Amino acid sequence: MAGKRLGNLPPALDFEDAELVAEDDSRVLNGLLGVTFAVSVVFLIFASTLSDVVSAPKLVIAEPLNPGDPVEITFGEPIYMPRHEECIDMDNGQDADYAGYGVGYEPSLSIDSMGNMQITAHKDLRWGGEGTPFGPILGGPTDTWYACEDGAMTTWDYWASWFWVTTDNGTTWDHGDQFEPTPGNLANSAIGSLTGGASECLGDEGDIAVDNQDVVYYLDTTLEDNWWHRFTEGGDSYEMGSVCQRMNTMAADDRPWVAAQGDGIIHYLGNSGVSPPECTGDSGRYWYYHSEDGGDSFSQCYSMPGGWSTISSEREGPYVYVAQEDADTGSGTVQIRISNEYGRGTGPGPSDGTWDVPKQLGPRNGNCPEGYPVVNNNEAGTVAVVWADCPFGDLGAWDMLMAISYDHGETWEESWSIAPDWGESGGITMYPFVSISENNMVSVAWYGLEYGDDGYSVGDEWYLMAGAIYQPHTGDQFEWIKGDETPLHIVNEYEEINGDVHALHDFFETVHGPSADWIGIAYQQNIGLHPFEENEEQRYIKFVRAEVVGDVPIPVITTDEEAIKRPIWIATDI
């Protein structure tokens, strides 16, 4: 049978103007009987539907949203990322209720075309035993670090950064293939990084990307360089062999950003902070590296001068985008660099290859603490950039801005504020992250704290906030809701006295499901006091999934009158 629609009869079933063409009387008679039967069924369905509408107080029916309409989303129960069972230690200083969860912060999140997701996060480098090999620098007694070793206080399950995967759209999470516990001390890891692979490759923080072939690329920085990992099957099959693969970049890297497209085209944006000595012909904080062989080799030494930056790319198409602060300054603008040829042609020397001159997107009236302008895109040519702004300093009322393009970044609408209306006191809109579905649902999530009458003070609560709009344009406003009813952090006395707003660290990430019917968010929550670090808490990675209510676009009919006016699909091939 054909598809069904609830409501009035579609215009196609207007029988007054119908013309019957018959070859003989029997076929005419059969045709008339068929029409009579169809009309009878239609009448019965319509009468039944009308009766339901009259008797029911409301009828909710899906129809397309208009551009700029908020999208209703509803959040499920959050999930904590697991530890390996054999590494759970009830005496390691963790809150007993959370000993089965991995301690980490600053999560990166990616997704493939099947809805499989991957999360990586910092390990807590100070939590590998009561001492540290850098005792005088980090404080505490001089000692090695430990991973999953009996008798040693540790929250580590393996030496690399955390790497979790889900192959059931976020319902359950486990560790990636060959990221199994790697017990031992720092010396074991130093040897393992030369002779082993996967979880033996000592790492500090990473980023993940997925190309058009659903190959998962995971780059984990050692600070002086990066380890490179590849997976298929959503992270359930490790494809790098048994020896750690160095990326061999010509710079010491801090926060790595990775994007992927096509069949093995990889973009790495490294935060070196200073110009690498091997690249004296260029200068800048951020350096771009390009690979077309799945990360086996990279171009080198292409500088992208500017402040904090992020990168995204199309998976099928040729476009690559880098959003940046224009400079490491207290104020200025946010800009975007675009290549429409996969970022090709870059390398040492004065040539910009296929990267256009940066476009200015909007103002920076203040310098938020480590606030990245975040760029994301879909395959249809929609590109969005969001950023936090601090015109009144770290403890004043924050703003949050957005710019959007619907033609691959060729033209941009005027940027506008999407911050919540928190009144005169204001609040903090930290680390906004944007994701875009293929049908132009744009979601933004951020860490939020609303000030009371006394401003930033002890007891103020941080929350995960999120909202979505169908095809937003300048001036459209999000309807913000809490993604997690549990506070992510509560301001303590030390933070109030020192004006410290960095408890939730530098960023987190979101994705849209392949069919745009759900949103996934990986984020951080602080729980309990840290056993070693003064004025710090234990940090945990969580995942939460938001269901999109109905299909996008999805208007909601709220009155009986509107319901009666709406068409109803019925079977037309009876």
- Provide the residue type at 212 as one letter: N
In this structure, the answer to whether residues 417 and 461 fall within a common structural domain is: yes
Q: What is the 3-state secondary structure (H, E, C) of 206-233?
A: EEEEECCCCCEEEEEECCCCEEEEEEEH
d(CA 294, CA 504) in angstroms, rounded, equals: 33
| Token pair listed for 143 | 């000692």
In this structure, the answer to whether residues 390 and 437 fall within a common structural domain is: yes
Range of the domain at 287: 73-124+167-178+274-548
Strand boundaries in 392-536, DSSP class E: 399-405, 416-417, 427-436, 441-450, 461-470, 481-482, 489-490, 509-512, 518-529
**Residue 372: inside a domain:** yes
**Residue 247: inside a domain:** no
In this structure, the answer to whether residues 51 and 86 fall within a common structural domain is: no
In this structure, the answer to whether residues 561 and 543 fall within a common structural domain is: no
- The CATH number for 412's domain is 2.120.10
In this structure, the answer to whether residues 51 and 82 fall within a common structural domain is: no
Backbone angles phi, psi at 522, to 5 degrees: -105, 130
| Token pair listed for 225 | 């360089």
**Residue 332: inside a domain:** yes
In this structure, the answer to whether residues 390 and 426 fall within a common structural domain is: yes
In this structure, the answer to whether residues 103 and 20 fall within a common structural domain is: no
Per-residue pLDDT of the chain (574 residues; tens, 9 = 90+): 333 333 333 333 333 333 333 334 443 334 433 433 333 433 333 334 333 433 444 444 456 788 999 999 999 999 999 999 999 999 888 999 999 999 999 999 999 999 999 999 998 877 888 888 887 777 778 888 889 988 888 888 999 999 999 999 999 999 999 999 999 888 877 777 778 889 999 888 999 999 999 999 999 998 888 999 999 999 999 999 888 998 888 777 788 899 999 999 999 998 887 766 666 566 778 889 999 999 999 988 788 889 999 999 999 999 999 999 999 899 999 999 999 999 998 866 667 889 999 999 999 999 998 889 999 999 999 999 999 999 999 999 999 999 999 999 999 999 999 999 998 899 999 999 999 999 999 999 999 999 999 999 999 999 999 999 999 999 999 999 999 999 999 999 999 999 999 999 999 999 999 999 999 999 999 999 998 888 889 999 999 999 999 667 543 334 444 333 333 332 323 2
In this structure, the answer to whether residues 482 and 381 fall within a common structural domain is: yes
Q: Write the CB contacts of 559 (distance below 8 Å, at least 6 apart in sequence).
A: 58
- CB burial of residue 316 (10 Å; 0-12, 13-18, 19+): exposed
In this structure, the answer to whether residues 57 and 77 fall within a common structural domain is: no
In this structure, are residues 21 and 28 in contact, taking their beta carbons and an 8 Å threshold? Answer: no
Q: How many domains does one find in the chain?
A: 2
Q: Write the CB contacts of 429 (distance below 8 Å, at least 6 apart in sequence).
A: 388, 398, 399, 400, 419, 420, 446, 448
In this structure, the answer to whether residues 356 and 411 fall within a common structural domain is: yes
**Residue 243: inside a domain:** no
d(CA 90, CA 391) in angstroms, rounded, equals: 46
| Token pair listed for 289 | 């590296």
E strand or H helix at 34: helix 25-55
In this structure, the answer to whether residues 44 and 171 fall within a common structural domain is: no
**Residue 259: inside a domain:** no
**Residue 338: inside a domain:** yes
For the beta carbon of residue 470, count every other beta carbon within 10 angstroms: 22
In terms of DSSP H, where are the helices of 394-499? 493-498
d(CA 344, CA 356) in angstroms, rounded, equals: 12
**Residue 56: inside a domain:** yes
In this structure, the answer to whether residues 56 and 83 fall within a common structural domain is: no
**Residue 221: inside a domain:** no
